[in-house]
Amino acid sequence: MSAHPRLADLAGSMALRVLQRLPPETAHGLALRALGRGWAGHRPQPPRPRLATQVLGFELPHPLGLAAGFDKNAEAVTGLFGLGFAFVEIGTVTPRPQAGNPRPRLFRLRPQQALINRMGFNNHGLEAVRARLAAQSPRPAALRADHQGRRWEAAAPLGANIGANRDSADPVADYVTCLCGLYPLVDYIAVNVSSPNTPGLRDLQRRDRLEALLTALLEARAALPAGGAAKPLLLKIAPDLTPEDEADIAEVALALGIDGLIVSNTTIARPDVVTGSHRDEAGGLSGTPLFLRATEQLARFYRMTGGRLPLIGVGGITTGADAYAKIRAGAAALQLYTALIYQGPGVVERVLGEVDRLLAEDGYDRLSEAIGADLRG
């Protein structure tokens, strides 16, 4: 889109105001369609050398990505990179298409800048997503690096978040099917065992079941045709775990050698700040009221893993200060979702500009120096 940036911003904020008056899922569908057609424009981020960071073998111009669930079916990947995200995660994808829960299943809690959703893994299924990814138009260029320090240019990282069908008799097989199907088409895989909206799914976070699942996935990955370094396998966890479960997950993740953790998914808790008529809707809460819970959990995982496992911090990032707090609590990269719904595409620029300023104020030349800073010494 060649419109003057100020005009694009004006059009964008008008569109956002219109969308916010529509039922949330209708608004989401329209936004996704606009992004898929490139109508949201192109918002390249200005170079900010302090924000450049290396994580999971990706050389990112900045740490902020789009969290799973926004583009479940890979319908708007190019448009989403156009908003300035350094990486984008599609999904959750399940082997077979499924409709998800009956509507309404997505609720705005505007005063708290929060959402409650019980979508239930509505998605077009593996084959449809594979076909779309294979036909997808190009992504921006980015650098990759391997352990030997070799660098090469590739497309900006795209992740696929995978899950199991609600009626699956063998959830582990579902994850393996999705891993094998999506692996050649994306740059990392996120294993979602943390959605509160598929009955029994979160039980896969228990030690023995998690070991079995991750072992099966690592074996499946090893058996795939090798083409360079293995693509990262990450686990996305819930913010509602017991201390014992958290310790088990940290141990299993390190012992099995998965590549990172995404901390965290939505919460089934309802912190006191959440009020209003939707408070008691069943489902996962995201946005500002999730921030503290998810960030404290992130810090616990950073401590338990001793900084040896890359952590992607997600949950309630609304401002640059939130994003910076997650980095200081141990996040090597970040994701958001709900803030995009309330603030529109300008959120990427706002958050990154503020993180850059906060790093400079604290005397950091590089983002990597600030990772886990609150937990050292």
Ligand X SMILES: Cc1cc2nc3c(=O)[nH]c(=O)nc-3n(C[C@H](O)[C@H](O)[C@H](O)COP(=O)(O)O)c2cc1C
Considering the rule CB under 6 A, would residue 198 count as an interface residue with ligand X? no
User: Whole-number minimum distance, CB 160 to ligand X, in Å?
Assistant: 11
What minimum distance in Å lies between the beta carbon of 60 and ligand X? 18
Q: How far apart are CA 290 and CA 317, in angstroms?
A: 9
Q: Which of 73, 101, 205, 266 binds ligand X (CB under 6 A)?
A: 266
Q: Measuring CA to CA, which residue among 205, 212, 274 is closest to residue 239?
A: 205
From 36, 57, 63, 315, residue interacting with ligand X (rule: CB under 6 A): 315
Contact range with ligand X by CB under 6 A, out of 5-13, 198-206, 300-308, 312-320: 312-320
Least distance to ligand X, CB of residue 114, Å:
8
DSSP reduced 3-state for 86: coil
Q: Which two tokens stand for residue 356?
A: 């850059």
Distance from C-alpha of 184 to C-alpha of 140, rounded to nearest angstrom: 18
Interface with ligand X, residue 348, by CB under 6 A: no
The verdict on 236 binding ligand X (CB under 6 A) reads yes
Residue 126 to residues 101, 134, 187, 281, Cα–Cα distance (Å):
19, 12, 16, 29
195 is a catalytic site residue:
yes
Residue nearest to ligand X (CB): 69
Q: Where would I find the H helices in 37-164?
A: 77-82, 126-135
Asked if residue 221 binds ligand X (CB under 6 A), the reply is no
Asked if 177 is part of the footprint of ligand X (rule: CB under 6 A), the reply reads no
Sequence-distant (≥ 6) Cβ neighbours of residue 226 within 8 angstroms:
none
292 close to 316: Cβ distance less than 8 angstroms: yes
CB of residue 184 to ligand X, shortest distance in Å: 21
The span from the CA of 354 to the CA of 349, in Å, is 8
Q: How far is the CB of 201 from ligand X (least distance, A)?
A: 10
CA nearest to 75, candidates 91, 86, 64 = 91
Total residues contacting ligand X (rule CB under 6 A)?
A: 27
User: How many secondary structure helices (H) and strands (E) does the chain include?
Assistant: 11, 15
Judged by CB under 6 A, the residue of 53, 94, 98, 161 near ligand X is 161
How many other CB atoms are there within 10 angstroms of residue 56's CB atom? 21
Among 76, 80, 90, 115, binds ligand X (CB under 6 A): 115
Q: Does residue number 107 form part of the binding site for ligand X (CB under 6 A)?
A: no
Catalytic (active-site) positions: 195
Interface with ligand X (CB under 6 A): 67-69, 72, 91-92, 106, 115, 117, 119, 161, 192, 195, 236, 265-266, 286-287, 290, 314-317, 336-339
